[in-house]
Chains A and B, each alone.
Chain A
Amino acid sequence: MMSPQYLWLIPALPAAAAAIGAVAPRRGRALAAGSAIAALAAAFILSCAALRVALATPAEHLVHNFAWFDLGDGVVAVGWLLDPLAALMCVMVTAVGALIFIFSLGYMREDENFTRFFCFMSLFAAAMLGLLIANSLLLLFVCWELVGLASYLLIGFWFHRPEAAAAAKKAFITTRIGDLGLLLGMVWLYHAGGTLLFYDHGNGCLETAALARLAAPAAGGLAVSTAIGLLIFCGAIGKSGQFPLHVWLPDAMEGPSPVSALIHAATMVAAGVFLIARVYPLMSADQALAGVPLHALTVVAFIGAITALMGACIAVAQNDIKRVLAFSTVSQLGYMMLALGVGSWVAAIFHLLTHAFFKALLFLGAGSVIHAAHHEQDIRRLGGLAPRMRITFATFAVGMMALAGMPFLFSGFWSKEAILHAAGAWPVSLLPLGFGLAGVVLTAFYMTRLVAEVFFGPARSEPAGHARENSALMTAPLLMLAVGAVGLGFIGTPAWPWLQSKLTGEAIPARSLFEGGGLMALSIGLVFIGLGAGWAIYGRRARTEAAALDPLAARAPVIFNFLGARMKFDELYAGTVGRLARWAGTLAVGLDRWVWGGMVLLLAKFGELVGVADREADEAGLNAGFNAVSEKLRDAGRAYARAQTGRAHGYLRALAVAFVVLALLIIAEGGR
């Protein structure tokens, strides 16, 4: 039985494994990896037990709160929260995480910092699990920052490579910008609501009483909850790689492939979507206000739609296998935000769960390819791997089908349908739906391009020609993830909305597949258009040599290069924000050197003047008498100096012995 007060065990187990990994010697590979995997497996079992409890009463939020510290005026309380959302996410993170850990056993085998790797990975998982079960925005924020720290450590794991160190720094600083918004939102929420607990038997900040207070219209007809919601959303923008803070996510590829899989599937980016889903009652509190110029969720929907389309566009023109997948993550996260924005957080979580499985599958598949091809990541230099890496190819193809949304069999289809269906029913605007549908075509297109370039045609470089299938340690997790990528879709089909009804705690009537079938038919058609176009351009006439120009680049070089340069976001930020920061720095240096420095110089001159006057008085009057005394003092000093050996150990020992002697004297005196 798993009642909420034992929930802390779920993150505590990986945290303990991280501690073991931290102190394990470098040779203790089996110890570090074994404890990490065992801890996560145990956490998985606990999560399943928790899920069972949560599913028994899906509409309730089981909480266990306690006072963290006393401020004098109030108590800062934190706690654990068990509901289907948290439990499902825990199960997903532990399951995907455990498979990624097992894969890492093979992938990181030659790395000399094997124990450090598993220590950081466990820390990452622990932080994410803590974030999932937190029943307080404060606790969530603490874990949120721990996730950020762990991602920094892992992206920069190969820190001797300058790109990796730079990417780690970029990820950390970019997400920090969003976290500032989250922090401000949290402070404001505490000020306005008086508590940071999510659920507290009617007193939490996500429960009706507090929401009614927060959603009351304030200045300009806007509600406080709108502002707080948007500030919290800033944190999610940073963490989940949404436009305009998505720039760190593709660079995060510099870490080892299992890290990319963990970041993109289970832990880091999922945190942002989870955060919005968790505070969804707060985000949607202003929906009831009529005539308000801006709803928080509207912003979420549009940011998500822009991100979904932009990520898909950029992914078309990337040549690094992991970068294509990274931008597909950006795009898919956009879909999730879009779903949250249009009011269907259930669809967002559904897509988050299915996406975790097939994106982990794709990244581990990419890792398997990279490992076999001796760290060749450029898809133009790969090729022809299908016959030689059969399991990797088959599982990668499953992941690709799921991501592209191949109808009926693959999980990505069902979750994407749910999102598009929700977007189609959004009363505010149909623009997000249009963006989403355009993204569907592009997704199918770039995934076909990726598979065609990597697995078909002739091998276009030496390492690709020698690539062989990896050991079972690496292929077994791929197979298991592939099963998940196929099967997971069936828990939330319109005909059997199990997930939806469990997450909301309400019975949701099953719909026929053909209700709203027009939209579904349209998106199926779009998927096939994308697949067909991709196959026509890249599959039929496969690339024969690495240096050949991309067919799209030949036709529209300007657009292709613009997309290939990731829409020049990095250059834009360097030109605006970076330059501004440099100017501010120059200004600060100038102020420091001339204004403050001048004042200090003035004071110093004054002091010097006083000193000169002092010295004159001293030498003229006082010295003679002192000289005689100091001569005597110097003699005494010489006598004492002989006792000074200069050995610090000796001094300390003498002190200790003297203490013992004195204490014995006192004890003897006291007679006790």
Chain B
Amino acid sequence: MSPLQICLLLSSGLFCVGLAGALSRSNSILVLLGVELMLNAANLNFIAFWRFGPAPEAATGIVFVIFSIAVAAAEAAVGLALVIAIYRHQKNIRLQEATRLKG
């Protein structure tokens, strides 16, 4: 197996672990962390394709990952603020009970 394949398998695995966590946990914080893991998996892919891709001098992959990390940081901040807001309203952070946005 070539290193690129290992990298891609690693990122697939990390993505699925994050997905499983986000789907199975009821604690909103852990769901958010699962989403963070999925984002990290995407970043791993960017780096892997940059490293083994056809034009590594262009550094596009790295620049993309930097932006992605910045957006992920914003997402984490807003997400955790939302968790705290949810906590204030319903006195717990179980995601399956936070259904006030239903149509």
- Chains A and B share a contact (CB less than 8 Å): yes
- Chain A residues within CB distance 8 Å of chain B: 638, 640-649, 652-653, 656
User: Shortest CB–CB separation between residue B89 and chain A, in angstroms?
Assistant: 14
**B103 touching A643, Cβ below 8 Å:** yes
Q: B98: CB under 8 A from chain A?
A: yes
Q: B48: CB under 8 A from chain A?
A: no
Q: B101: CB under 8 A from chain A?
A: yes
Q: Mark out the residues of chain B between 7 and 26 whose CB falls within 8 Å of any chain A CB in the assembled complex.
A: 19, 22-23
Q: Given the known A-B contacts A653-B23, A656-B19, A656-B23, are A648 and B31 also in contact in the complex, defined by CB atoms under 8 Å?
A: yes
CA distance A427 to B62 in the complex (A): 60
**B103 touching A648, Cβ below 8 Å:** no
CA distance A646 to B98 in the complex (A): 7
Of B22, B23, B99, which is within 8 A of A646 by CB?
B99
12 pairs across A/B with beta carbons < 8 Å? A638-B103, A640-B103, A641-B103, A642-B103, A644-B103, A646-B98, A647-B99, A649-B23, A649-B95, A652-B19, A652-B22, A653-B23
Q: B100: CB under 8 A from chain A?
A: yes
Q: B96: CB under 8 A from chain A?
A: yes
CA distance A72 to B39 in the complex (A): 29
B95 contacts across to A, CB distance below 8 A: 647-649
- Chain B residues within CB distance 8 Å of chain A: 19, 22-23, 31, 95-96, 98-103
CA distance A121 to B76 in the complex (A): 32
User: Shortest CB–CB separation between residue B77 and chain A, in angstroms?
Assistant: 18
CA distance A638 to B102 in the complex (A): 11
3 A-B pairs with the lowest CB-CB distances in the bound complex, closest first? A641-B103, A646-B102, A646-B99
**B22 touching A647, Cβ below 8 Å:** no
**B101 touching A644, Cβ below 8 Å:** yes
B102 contacts across to A, CB distance below 8 A: 644-647
Q: Given the known A-B contacts A652-B22, A656-B19, are A645 and B99 also in contact in the complex, defined by CB atoms under 8 Å?
A: yes
A649 contacts across to B, CB distance below 8 A: 22-23, 31, 95-96
**B23 touching A647, Cβ below 8 Å:** no
CA distance A522 to B98 in the complex (A): 81
Q: Which residue of chain B has the shortest Cβ distance to A659 in the bound complex?
A: B19
Q: Given the known A-B contacts A640-B103, A641-B103, A642-B103, are A648 and B19 also in contact in the complex, defined by CB atoms under 8 Å?
A: no
What number of A-B contacts does a CB cutoff of 8 Å give? 34
B23 contacts across to A, CB distance below 8 A: 649, 652-653, 656
User: Shortest CB–CB separation between residue A663 and chain B, in angstroms?
Assistant: 12
CA distance A495 to B78 in the complex (A): 70
Q: Given the known A-B contacts A652-B22, A652-B23, A656-B23, are A646 and B100 also in contact in the complex, defined by CB atoms under 8 Å?
A: yes
CA distance A653 to B24 in the complex (A): 10
A642 contacts across to B, CB distance below 8 A: 103
B99 contacts across to A, CB distance below 8 A: 645-647
11 extra A-B contacts, CB within 8 A, seeds A640-B103, A656-B19: A643-B103, A644-B101, A644-B103, A645-B99, A646-B103, A647-B95, A647-B99, A647-B102, A648-B31, A648-B95, A652-B23
A647 contacts across to B, CB distance below 8 A: 95-96, 99, 102
A646 contacts across to B, CB distance below 8 A: 98-103
CA distance A638 to B96 in the complex (A): 23
User: Shortest CB–CB separation between residue B27 and chain A, in angstroms?
Assistant: 12
User: Shortest CB–CB separation between residue B62 and chain A, in angstroms?
Assistant: 13
Q: Which residue of chain B has the shortest Cβ distance to A655 in the bound complex?
A: B19
Give the one of B31, B98, B99, B100 with max A CB within 10 A.
B99
CA distance A430 to B42 in the complex (A): 68
Q: Which residue of chain A has the shortest Cβ distance to B22 in the bound complex?
A: A652
CA distance A647 to B100 in the complex (A): 9
CA distance A645 to B100 in the complex (A): 9
User: Shortest CB–CB separation between residue A71 and chain B, in angstroms?
Assistant: 15
B22 contacts across to A, CB distance below 8 A: 649, 652
Q: Which residue of chain B has the shortest Cβ distance to A642 in the bound complex?
A: B103
A644 contacts across to B, CB distance below 8 A: 101-103
User: Shortest CB–CB separation between residue A653 and chain B, in angstroms?
Assistant: 6
Give the one of A642, A646, A653 with max B CB within 10 A.
A646
Q: Which residue of chain B has the shortest Cβ distance to A643 in the bound complex?
A: B103
CA distance A266 to B102 in the complex (A): 61
Q: Which residue of chain B has the shortest Cβ distance to A645 in the bound complex?
A: B102
User: Shortest CB–CB separation between residue B51 and chain A, in angstroms?
Assistant: 16
User: Shortest CB–CB separation between residue B63 and chain A, in angstroms?
Assistant: 16
CA distance A643 to B103 in the complex (A): 7
B19 contacts across to A, CB distance below 8 A: 652, 656
User: Shortest CB–CB separation between residue B16 and chain A, in angstroms?
Assistant: 9
B96 contacts across to A, CB distance below 8 A: 647, 649
A645 contacts across to B, CB distance below 8 A: 99, 102
CA distance A607 to B99 in the complex (A): 36
CA distance A641 to B102 in the complex (A): 7
CA distance A638 to B98 in the complex (A): 21
User: Shortest CB–CB separation between residue B87 and chain A, in angstroms?
Assistant: 15
CA distance A353 to B100 in the complex (A): 66
User: Shortest CB–CB separation between residue A484 and chain B, in angstroms?
Assistant: 48
User: Shortest CB–CB separation between residue A657 and chain B, in angstroms?
Assistant: 11
User: Shortest CB–CB separation between residue B90 and chain A, in angstroms?
Assistant: 13
A656 contacts across to B, CB distance below 8 A: 19, 23
User: Shortest CB–CB separation between residue B53 and chain A, in angstroms?
Assistant: 20
User: Shortest CB–CB separation between residue A348 and chain B, in angstroms?
Assistant: 46
CA distance A644 to B98 in the complex (A): 13
CA distance A645 to B98 in the complex (A): 11
User: Shortest CB–CB separation between residue B46 and chain A, in angstroms?
Assistant: 19
CA distance A646 to B102 in the complex (A): 4
CA distance A641 to B103 in the complex (A): 4
Q: Which residue of chain A has the shortest Cβ distance to B102 in the bound complex?
A: A646
Give the one of B22, B95, B101, B103 with max A CB within 10 A.
B103
CA distance A656 to B19 in the complex (A): 8
CA distance A226 to B44 in the complex (A): 48
CA distance A649 to B34 in the complex (A): 12
Q: Which residue of chain B has the shortest Cβ distance to A644 in the bound complex?
A: B103
B100 contacts across to A, CB distance below 8 A: 646
A643 contacts across to B, CB distance below 8 A: 103
B98 contacts across to A, CB distance below 8 A: 646, 648
CA distance A646 to B101 in the complex (A): 5
CA distance A645 to B99 in the complex (A): 7
Q: Which residue of chain A has the shortest Cβ distance to B24 in the bound complex?
A: A649
CA distance A649 to B103 in the complex (A): 16
User: Shortest CB–CB separation between residue A636 and chain B, in angstroms?
Assistant: 12
Give the one of A641, A642, A652 with max B CB within 10 A.
A652
CA distance A431 to B33 in the complex (A): 63
CA distance A640 to B100 in the complex (A): 16
User: Shortest CB–CB separation between residue A502 and chain B, in angstroms?
Assistant: 48
User: Shortest CB–CB separation between residue B95 and chain A, in angstroms?
Assistant: 5
B103 contacts across to A, CB distance below 8 A: 638, 640-644, 646
CA distance A490 to B78 in the complex (A): 64
CA distance A647 to B98 in the complex (A): 7
B101 contacts across to A, CB distance below 8 A: 644, 646
User: Shortest CB–CB separation between residue A280 and chain B, in angstroms?
Assistant: 42
